Amino acid sequence: MLSAARSDSHFAVKKEWFFRRLLSADPRQRASTMDQLREEAMAMEPSVLEAHLPSMWRLAREAPLADIRTGCRALLADIATERGLTFTPKCAPANGAEPTDEDSDVSSFFQKSEVIGIVKNDDEDLQAIFTRCFLQGGRVSHLTRMLAWHKPYLQLFRSSITSIMLNDGPLPLEWRNYIALMAAAEYRCHYVSMIHQHYFLVNGGDPSWLDGLDFVPAKLARLHSLNALLAHQPWLITSDDIADLLASDSDGSSWSISELVHAIIVMCMYHSMCSITLGLGVVDEEDLAVLSSTSNPDTYIGAINRRSSIGKMSECGSELGASPGYDVARMELEEELLRQRLAKDAEFTQSDDEDAPEGDATSTEKDDDDEDIDEEEEEEVPFEVAALPPSGRLRGLSSTAHLKGELWRYCSETFVEYVDFDVRSREYNVLHTEDFSWDEHCFSLVSRYFPGQGGHILEDLFKLTLKMTYHSYGAHATATKSNQDVEGMDTTPFRHAIWYYVHRIYGICHDDYDYKNVNIFLNRPTKQFVKKVACTPWRVTAKDIEHFNHTLTASEKCHVTLLTAEARKQAGLMYGLRAVMQHFL
């Protein structure tokens, strides 16, 4: 459970704890609490009650416990009748029927019918996971629903959050949430940032910190440069960056080594989570809003309405670069060849080897596919740096400004953006896993300075993501192959190609891997999608995930995204923890 300490003065926290009283495993306790909530709701001022309606609708539609859904629907009906207040969710059916969880806009990239439901779900194990999520955090988040395609991953994913964000550790809970918020801001991920703005307040955070880095303690603000480098160019992190943070200071802004290791883990974990969220097109829950220190119902409702209008503008594509063109016929041919290769357990002909160009992370030239990817990628969508004043960076912005502008306040003053790793650079070198690896170095460092099972859970999550398979490749293969053929399909080469390609992008070379396999198993659109998810996930569009592979099912495309994000997480941890180790050498 979240900490009972909270900033009671902020309206968002009052609203959160109003509903959090329902989070009991005892049905009788929930029934009694629902009666209390009805009595209190009917006595609220109209503006206060109106601000509670979005959360009531979410619970009435998406709570995994039937009695809470029924109670909230009855309460909404009473409020409409007796108080004349209503709320129409965006997902309301056109025929006027009562909205259900199946009507929710969970992802902007996948069809509603492809997303696993909460209410009509016959999988008892998955339903138990949903219920635990709800009782712990008050919601079954849209991200959780997207990850439900892969139950083993979802279970470990939630265990990692519990271990790193909730269990005992060097950093206070509210600091962990704020660092997660900073990590989300670097990746322009509003979904994750809004979640942790709320949890930051619920865990007792100072509301004034939500106005930006200018309002946080100097110790926390000093973390912004490391956060920016981990997000965009982790290979530039050196022992000097670590020494600066560990240096003793009279104002108490120095970090301990255990605190810094914890912070690096949190930042890398949430950079990865943002890649998953943006790569899968996860849609914000309707009762979330970008917050500030201002505390009243009117500003809360205004933030929700403003987010809704901005979201509609973004959906029109005015802020996004045009998606690249796709040669569908060529893609389908490549996908069929890949399926045949996987079915043959990666036994390739000599012509395959001759056609595949040499690919090595230490090569001084990019392969043809990488050059084409870079040429086809649209121009970077920058932050509106020039339009922002030096302090209070959000003041004066139009309410129709793109949502990413609202996260500027949590970002580094020094703008850092992603650039390709340059193997010819004289400032940094390729990281060979023979010299430094997760297994041999990072895992032991995490286990030494971070208490509990966090290191083991991260290790298990990496291994599970890389090894997880259903012995099939695509809906077409499942529909046309016999069960024996499907069960015999080995997708290991495809999964490894994604993992090692991401590491290659970040300048990490696995000397025991044949990089020719990357070009054999990943076509150009797949490489482009993987690179976007790993490096610039805010640029991923629905067309990217639709067209990078026409064969894979929705759950398999989710697995590709998970492979990419976990490989990216491991790369960030390797660079960050290597700098920590170098500091002591």
Asked if 158 and 129 touch (Cβ cutoff 8 Å), the reply is yes
Band of pLDDT at residue 407, cut at 50, 70 and 90: confident
Give per-residue burial for 467-493: e unless 16+ CB within 10 Å, then b.
eeeeebbbebbeeebeeeebeebebeb
Q: What is the pLDDT of residue 336?
A: 58
Chain centroid to CA 35: how far?
36
The mean pLDDT of 221-229, rounded to a whole number, is 94
Instruction: Say whether both 132 and 280 belong to one domain.
Output: yes
Q: Using a pLDDT cut of 90, give the percent of the chain over it.
A: 55
Instruction: Say whether both 456 and 498 belong to one domain.
Output: yes
* Tally of residues, the chain: 585
Instruction: Say whether both 84 and 119 belong to one domain.
Output: no
508: β partners? 431
Residue 139 lies in a domain: yes
The answer to whether residue 347 scores a pLDDT higher than 90 is no
Band of pLDDT at residue 391, cut at 50, 70 and 90: very low
Band of pLDDT at residue 304, cut at 50, 70 and 90: low
The answer to whether residue 213 scores a pLDDT higher than 80 is yes
Band of pLDDT at residue 94, cut at 50, 70 and 90: low
Side chain identity, residue 52: H
- Comparing CA positions, the residue from 143, 194, 180 lying closest to residue 12 is 194
Residue 167 lies in a domain: yes
The number of domains in the chain is: 2
Q: What is the pLDDT of residue 158?
A: 95
Residue 276 lies in a domain: yes
Band of pLDDT at residue 497, cut at 50, 70 and 90: very high
Residue 258: burial class (beta carbons within 10 Å; 0-12, 13-18, 19+): middle
Domain termination site, one of 88, 121, 139: 88
For the ranges 8-12, 404-408, 579-583, the lowest mean pLDDT is seen at 404-408
Instruction: Say whether both 63 and 132 belong to one domain.
Output: no
- Neighbouring CB atoms inside 10 A of 466's CB total 18
**Mean pLDDT (the chain, rounded):** 80
For the ranges 273-282, 364-373, 472-481, the lowest mean pLDDT is seen at 364-373
Q: Please give the Cα distance from 232 to 419 (Å, whole number).
A: 7
Q: Please give the Cα distance from 143 to 70 (Å, whole number).
A: 24
Domain of residue 31: give its range: 1-88
Instruction: Say whether both 271 and 203 belong to one domain.
Output: yes
Could you write out the three-class secondary structure of 389-446? Answer: CCCCCCCCCCCCCCHHHHHHHHCCCCCCCCCCCCCCCCCCCCEECCCCCHHHHHHHHH
Domain termination site, one of 71, 88, 105: 88
Residue 314 lies in a domain: no
282: β partners? 107
As given in the structure block, the two tokens for residue 147 are 């990850």
pTM metric for this prediction: 0.82
Q: What is the pLDDT of residue 417?
A: 84
Residue 299 lies in a domain: no
Q: Using a pLDDT cut of 70, give the percent of the chain over it.
A: 74
- Counting Cα atoms < 13 Å in the Cβ hemisphere of 61 gives 28
Identify the DSSP state of 360: -
Identify the DSSP state of 164: I
Residue 213 lies in a domain: yes
The answer to whether residue 377 scores a pLDDT higher than 60 is no
N-term to C-term CA, the chain: 40
Q: What is the pLDDT of residue 534?
A: 96
For the ranges 6-20, 44-58, 182-196, the lowest mean pLDDT is seen at 6-20
Band of pLDDT at residue 487, cut at 50, 70 and 90: low
Instruction: Say whether both 228 and 123 belong to one domain.
Output: yes
List % helix, strand, coil for the chain (3-state, nearest 5). Answer: 60, 0, 40
| Higher-scoring residue by pLDDT: 225, 312 | 225
Determine phi and psi for 243, rounding to 5 degrees.
-60, -40
pLDDT in tens, 112-157: 889 999 988 889 999 999 999 999 989 999 999 999 999 999 999 9
Angle among Cα 23, 25, 29 to the nearest 5 degrees reads: 75
- Comparing CA positions, the residue from 531, 528, 526 lying closest to residue 506 is 531
- Comparing CA positions, the residue from 549, 512, 510 lying closest to residue 528 is 549
The answer to whether residue 382 scores a pLDDT higher than 60 is no
The answer to whether residue 403 scores a pLDDT higher than 90 is no
Identify the DSSP state of 508: E
Side chain identity, residue 425: S
Instruction: Say whether both 276 and 135 belong to one domain.
Output: yes
| Higher-scoring residue by pLDDT: 416, 1 | 416
The mean pLDDT of 9-35, rounded to a whole number, is 89
Distance (Å) of CA 32 to CA 129, 211, 225: 25, 38, 49
Residue 173 lies in a domain: yes
- Neighbouring CB atoms inside 10 A of 504's CB total 25
Instruction: Say whether both 2 and 81 belong to one domain.
Output: yes
Residue 454 lies in a domain: yes
Instruction: Say whether both 129 and 12 belong to one domain.
Output: no
Q: Please give the Cα distance from 560 to 296 (Å, whole number).
A: 42
Domain termination site, one of 54, 88, 122: 88
Instruction: Say whether both 150 and 229 belong to one domain.
Output: yes
The mean pLDDT of 424-447, rounded to a whole number, is 91
Q: What is the pLDDT of residue 418?
A: 87
For the ranges 112-121, 153-162, 200-209, 478-487, the lowest mean pLDDT is seen at 478-487
Instruction: Using the Cα atoms of residue 404, residue 193, residue 111 and residue 71 in order, give the sign of their dihedral.
Output: negative
The answer to whether residue 55 scores a pLDDT higher than 70 is yes
Band of pLDDT at residue 471, cut at 50, 70 and 90: confident
| Higher-scoring residue by pLDDT: 278, 298 | 278
Q: Please give the Cα distance from 541 to 53 (Å, whole number).
A: 31
Instruction: Say whether both 155 and 282 belong to one domain.
Output: yes
Q: What is the pLDDT of residue 374?
A: 42
Instruction: Say whether both 136 and 283 belong to one domain.
Output: yes
Residue 410: burial class (beta carbons within 10 Å; 0-12, 13-18, 19+): buried
The per-residue DSSP string of 307-351 comes to HHHHHHHHHTTTTSPPPPP--HHHHHHHHHHHHHHHHTTS---HH
The mean pLDDT of 254-262, rounded to a whole number, is 95
Chain position carrying tokens 């703008």: 415
Q: What is the pLDDT of residue 146?
A: 96
Q: What is the pLDDT of residue 200?
A: 93
Asked if 262 and 226 touch (Cβ cutoff 8 Å), the reply is no
Residues 6+ apart with CB under 8 A from 50: 85, 87, 297, 301
